[in-house]
Amino acid sequence: MTSALDLDADNYHKFLDYKVAEAGDGFVRLEMAGFDCHRNRQDYIHGGVLMSLMDIAGIMAGSRGSGETRKAVTVNLSCNFLSTAMGETVHAEGRVVKKGKSMFFCDCRVVDAATGKIYSTAQGSYKYL
């Protein structure tokens, strides 16, 4: 696995401290341990952290495929929180649904790494720069 710290990441990515567990054309799976700094006052992994992971997974799935790396920005991210994220480790997955010349669209989700329980889902629209 590649550490997020190896990706020339900025401070926010370092704070999340995720790793790329799997990557393929149009797909990426990130792995993140839910440290205390990622949790809210009820001890769940904060929804903002889950959204960030889904957003990053979506961008990586669409901008790093077919042997190329392109920069992209989020146009829209629509999230649904299905369950409280109490797990020790989570996986964020991004999968390209449609790819055009200037935009791409992804389905994303965060699941408990141990049980596969789905914590959140998202649909993202991204624009290539």
Q: What integer best gives the mean pLDDT of the chain? A: 91
Return the bridge partners of 33, or none. 89
Q: In what order do the strands lie in the sheet with 27-33?
A: 2-3, 19-24, 27-33, 89-99, 103-112, 118-128, 72-81
Token readout for 51 is: 């959204």
- pLDDT score of 65 more than 80: no
Across 52-71, average pLDDT:
88
Q: Residue 95 and residue 123: Cα distance in Å, rounded?
A: 10
Q: Domain 2-128, what architecture?
A: Roll (3.10)
The 10s digit of each residue's pLDDT in 21-38 is 999 999 999 999 999 999
Mean pLDDT of 55-76: 89
pLDDT confidence of residue 69: 83
In whole angstroms, give the CA distance from residue 115 to residue 104: 30
Q: What is the pLDDT of residue 64?
A: 82
pLDDT computed for residue 91 by the predictor? 98
Delimit the domains of the chain by residue range: 2-128
Average pLDDT over residues 110-127: 97
Closest by CA to 61, choosing from 30, 92, 95, is 95
